[in-house]
Structure 1
Amino acid sequence: EYFSVLIEGAFGFLSTGDEASPGNYGLKDQNLSIQWVKRHIHHFGGNPNKITIFGQSVGGASAHYHMLSPLSNDLINGVICQSGIGNAKWTFGSRDEGKFLSKKFAKLLNCSTDYSHVMVECLRKVSSRDILLTQLKLSVPNISKSIPTFRPVIEPEVRGAFLTQPSLDIIKSGNFTNVPFMVGITANEGCMCTVDHCQDRTAITKFNRHFDEIISQEIGIDYRIDKKYITREVKRFYFKNQTLTCDDKGRTNISNMYTDALFLDPINEVLELYLKYNLTSLYHYNFEYKSTTLPSTSAAMGDPLHDYGVCHSDDMNYFSCDPNSLKHYSPKDRAVVERMVNMWTNFAIYGNPTPLDGEWKTVKTKDLEYYAIKGPQGGKMSKRLHGNRADFWRHLQV
């Protein structure tokens, strides 16, 4: 039995954009945990020079941030990012966005927002319960509830800063921890937003009516780019300029759009840069196994009736080592658990998920070779994941 404590939401990521509350406390807390492991893991039979960190969704982005932060340099020896990466627009916010949200939040708690130091001192006197309940009221209009409100930010240059540059700038500078890196997605990541927009007739009507505004905010279109051009191109490419629907084809198109914009494109962007800057141990995957017995996370997100494919977080079903949980798994699902755990463990030990047979090759070219994880019998190497769709987003450069 174990307990985990996650520092998230306003507790972990409220930022005033200055030294009063620069932000990223959740990441700094993780950094302290890794430092503790580095110092003490030998007492438990562990190797302090074999620390691999991995996470899923925002946890995947967090793992990537540690690879990029000077505070975590020399602490980690491998990184796995599952369905989340540090340059994805939904995983971080601008400094101005952080300031805006912190003031909006403080006003809800009757704290003055004239001076950031005074505002932060007021917030520190508020009970943790009130902080927690109030942040649930802090919604951003037209944003999927699957996208976090308080997020990591680019901090000012203050003592103890975790991130002071955008992720891609750090990679281009070469100032990142060069360790074996594994990254991948599930086949249908975009279901997490699709469920929100297809929950009822009112939701899809709103999506059609406010498509430009919603897409601009959810995929994080740069303010320097013509938003109308981007949203027009997106609607043409995925929906043939037709009204969005929530029938089987409509849900697939919406899901593909979010899969590509929020996951595929940012991961491809990072892989291309890592190739350019000589990070050699790059492993890329697409998780494609669909259980016939285990529930999809789309059910937990609010739609148990429709099949969304291999949804965001569905891969997490296959990292369970709890005998009480596994007894409810089919033989095929248990075999996938064994295979996934073995590959992830191999990566942590050897820096290679398939060290014996070399089945899973590293990324070598701009085709961004990937391993398609298909089930208990294994998978196969392939190239150009969702090639035409990936090319569309590289051309847009949002």
Structure 2
Amino acid sequence: MQNHLLVTLRFGAPIAADSWTGYFNASDYGSECPQVDILFGKPYKGRENCLFLNVYTPQLRKDDDTSTYAVMIFIHGGGFFFGSGNLYGPDFLLDQDIVLVTFNYRLDALGFMSTGDEVVPGNNGMKDQALAIKWVHDNIEAFGGDPKRITLFGESAGGASAQYHMLSPLSQGHFSAAISQSGTIFNVWAFMDKSMVVGNTRRLADHVGCATYDNVKMVECLRSVDAKKLMEVRFSFMKWDLDPWMLFAPIVEPNIKGAFLPDHPLNILKEAKHAPVPWIAGVNSEEGILRVALIYKKENLVKELDENFSEIMSITFNDQSKIQESSKLIRDFYFGNHKINNNTMFNLINMYSNMLFNYGIHVAVKMHFKYSKQPVYYYLYSHVGQHSLANIYGDPQLRYGVSHSDELLLQFPYSYGVQFRNAVLDRRDLHYSELLNKMWTSFAKTGNPTPATDSFVSTKWEPVTTESLEYYNIGAGVHSSKNLYSARMKFWDKMNQMRKIILRDEL
């Protein structure tokens, strides 16, 4: 049975919770937001009463104590359609004397559907995030945090979210720095054309039996549909394995009061309307394992991809024209005359890495360097750890490389996969865990990722200073370099100029 109040609030902007006096029992996590996990076909879970945040502090502030800790707000990933802040524990980061905050936000259609007008402008999940960030800014001092030193950091969709808050008028002034791990606003899955989201909203309504001729009546009908049914529609939208993933995501809203993103991200950057804060952004060395391990888990999918490459690429990108025109060039670049099979698995990893992650992040760093006066620090994370999320998606015996999300295992006690809940880090992983967390927390405390007095971080990390986009390699023999994946990035520059297939018409 649905809660009438929650149904009334469904698809609306978030409302700040009332304050309280006395003690608030925060010993248990709040509910996750409604979702289905398509990676494993897991059933529906969560409740609509889900907008909770978690505050972890080294120690509660005493009345006579004026000292404060830097604050780090982590935004979870999951493609804007699954995940929860509850998955990310505080144990590692609190060792660095910071206050850590995690939170939930509405996902998938409940968080990102849009009618394209004032009825449901869109981006409600991002507005949830913005309200949580404002709450932290306004209240964190009571938990020993410094409201003037708040760093947003996130991974995948959370990384893109961190950059979105740099652009949004709802968030600016509430934080002092940002970190985007494996996700930015220029990744193909992180930003959608409004017409595409509106179209998917109408498809969703039609699928659950709601008429679409009038937006007000359509939304009234969608409010009456059980949340579980709305979330499970995603399974019926899949055309090839899990694709297309991109159904609901951030969009440019009508320029009305309360809009999270009132203009195109590139326009906001060009017009210097973004938050003047330093930024870290980077990628893992084999990001595409996330997708490829799932494909190679089913032998028929590899064969289908080889035989129907162009058609499947158009499904992946929700684009029936431009991708098909370019797919031959893409295939030739990554595979030459070779078939897609076990022998070319790492070619496919490179292709998905570049398409879904590396190129968008490369462009985002380039745009930030070009249009922002604040430093941007670029990195490649290449440490192959003892544990990998790829071993959940694919063959547990195979060492694929550094998958999308692998660094999270060294930043948090991470409970996405049951096998990681009590995972013990070996000596090398402990070293990189401490290295990562020292650099991230140094950035949160000072705006510089290289601690001034810590010999543990032996190589100084310099910001980008030229169009070669200098980066910091966090892996064996930590060092600085430049022109990351240069040949591949030039290829995707060419693809974008020809067909606008990755950044569509943004550049």
Q: Which sections of structure 1, spanning at least 5 residues, go unmatched?
A: none
Counterpart CA distance in 2 for 1:222 and 1:34 is 38
Q: Residue 205 of structure 1 corresponds to which residue in structure 2?
A: 303
Match of 1:297 among 380, 383, 389: 389
How many angstroms apart in 1 are the aligned matches of 2:189 and 2:181? 15
Q: How does 1:355-374 map to 2 (within 5 A)?
A: 355-356=451-452, 359-374=460-475
Contact 1:288 1:310 in 2 (8 A): yes
Displacement, 1:310? 0.5
The size of the alignment, in residue pairs, is 388
Distance of 1:344 and 1:304 partners within structure 2: 30
Q: What's the RMSD between the two structures over aligned residues? A: 2.3
How many Å apart are 1:172 and its aligned residue?
1.7
Distance in 2 between residues matched to 1:219 and 1:297, nearest whole Å: 24
Q: 271, 280, 283: which is aligned to 2:374?
A: 280
**Could you tell me which of 188, 194, 197 is aligned with 2:292?**
194
CA 332–2 in structure 1, closer or farther in 2 if over 3 Å, else same: farther
Asked whether 1:386 is paired with 2:386, we answer no
- Write out per-residue CA displacement over residues 304-326 of structure 1, whole angstroms, 9 at most, x where no aligned residue: 2432210011111111269x967
Q: Looking at secondary structure, tell me which structure has more helix per residue.
A: 1
Deviations 1:215-270 (A, max 9, x none): 244357696xx5444212111110104321133xx111111011112222111212
Aligned runs of 1:252-271 on 2, under 5 Å?
252-271=346-365
Gaps of 5+ in 2: 1-26, 30-84, 86-103, 415-419, 453-457, 501-507
Candidates 398, 404, 407, aligned match of 1:312: 404
Q: Provide the rounded CA distance (Å) in 2 between the counterparts of 1:2 and 1:54.
A: 24
Q: 1:238 to 1:152 in 2, by over 3 A?
A: same
Aligned equivalent of 2:191, options 88, 92, 111: 92
Aligned to 1:171: 269
Inter-CA distance 14–327: structure 2 relative to 1 (3 Å threshold)? closer
Q: C-alpha displacement at 1:168, in angstroms?
A: 2.1
Q: CA deviation at 1:126?
A: 1.9
What residue in structure 2 maps to residue 184 of structure 1? 282
Q: Which residue of 1 aligns with 2:330?
A: 234
2-side partners of 1:145 and 1:218: how far apart? 5
The alignment status of 1:76 with 2:175, answered yes or no, reads yes
Q: State whether structure 2 residue 113 is matched by structure 1 residue 10.
A: no
Instruction: Output the CA distance in 2 between the equivalents of 1:27 and 1:221.
Output: 25
- 1:144·1:196 contact (CA, 8 Å) conserved in 2? no
Deviations 1:160-214 (A, max 9, x none): 1111333223212221112010001100001112123322231112212331132
**1:335 corresponding residue in structure 2:** 431
Find the residue that maps to 1:51 and give its secondary structure.
strand
Assess if the C-alpha contact under 8 Å between 1:219 and 1:261 holds in 2. Answer: no
Q: CA separation of 1:109/1:327 partners in 2, compared to 1, >3 Å: closer, same or farther?
A: closer
- Alignment map for 1:24-103 (pairs within 5 Å): 24-103=123-202
Paired amino acid for 2:403? C
SS at match of 1:90: coil
* Helix, strand or coil at the partner of 2:478: strand
3-state SS of the aligned residue for 2:475?
strand
Counterpart residue number, 1:139: 237
CA shift in 2, pair 1:339/1:358, >3 Å: closer
Structure-1 separation of matches of 2:138 and 2:207? 42
CA contact (8 A) 2:123 2:260 kept: yes
2 CA distance for matches of 1:14 and 1:152? 9
**Match 1:344 to one of 410, 422, 440:** 440
Higher relative contact order (CA 8 A, sep 6+): 1
Question: Which one is further off, 362-371 or 212-221?
Answer: 212-221
Name the SS for the 1:72 alignment partner. coil
- CA gap of 1:246–1:100, structure 2 versus 1, over 3 A, is farther
Q: TM-score normalized by structure 1?
A: 0.91
CA distance in 1, matches of 2:262, 2:338: 42
1:155 corresponds to which of 233, 238, 253? 253
Partner residue in 1 for 2:10: none
Tell me: CA distance 1:140–1:325, structure 2 relative to 1, closer, same or farther (3 Å).
closer
Confirm or deny: 8 A CA contact 1:9 1:135 kept in the other structure.
no
> Is the 8 Å Cα contact of residues 190 and 250 (structure 2) preserved in structure 1?
yes
- The answer to whether the 8 Å contact 2:112/2:124 transfers is yes
- Counterpart code for 2:182: S
Deviation by residue 1:143-173 (Cα, 9 ceiling, x = unmatched): 7459353211221223211113332232122
CA–CA separation in structure 2 for the residues paired with 1:140 and 1:161: 30
